[in-house]
């Protein structure tokens, strides 16, 4: 089990870092701005946190309001 995990670690680590960077960036953006384009802020926060990489990408493509 540990051998398998260490074998895939070089592939998983960049993906985990990408997910964390996207999530933190999206959360900071949504908390600093007062409006979103579609939906409401609590729904976007739940989506960003729970839907891993796709949630923050959806927020930046669909939900972010240009101010």
The pLDDT value given to residue 38: 83
Position 5 confidence tier, pLDDT thresholds 50, 70, 90: confident
3-state secondary structure of 65: coil
The pLDDT value given to residue 35: 82
Taking the CB of residue 16, how many other CB atoms lie within 10 A of it?
A: 12
3-state secondary structure of 36: strand
pLDDT digits (tens, 9 = 90+) for 27-47: 999 999 888 888 888 999 999
Contact 44, 63 (CB under 8 A): yes
């Amino acid at each position: 089990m540990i051998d398998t995990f260490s074998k895939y670690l070089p592939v998983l680590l960049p993906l985990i870092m990408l997910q964390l960077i996207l999530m933190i960036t999206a959360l900071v953006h949504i908390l600093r701005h007062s409006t979103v384009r579609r939906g409401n802020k609590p729904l976007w926060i739940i989506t960003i946190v729970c839907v891993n990489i796709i949630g923050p990408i959806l927020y930046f493509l669909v939900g972010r309001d240009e101010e």
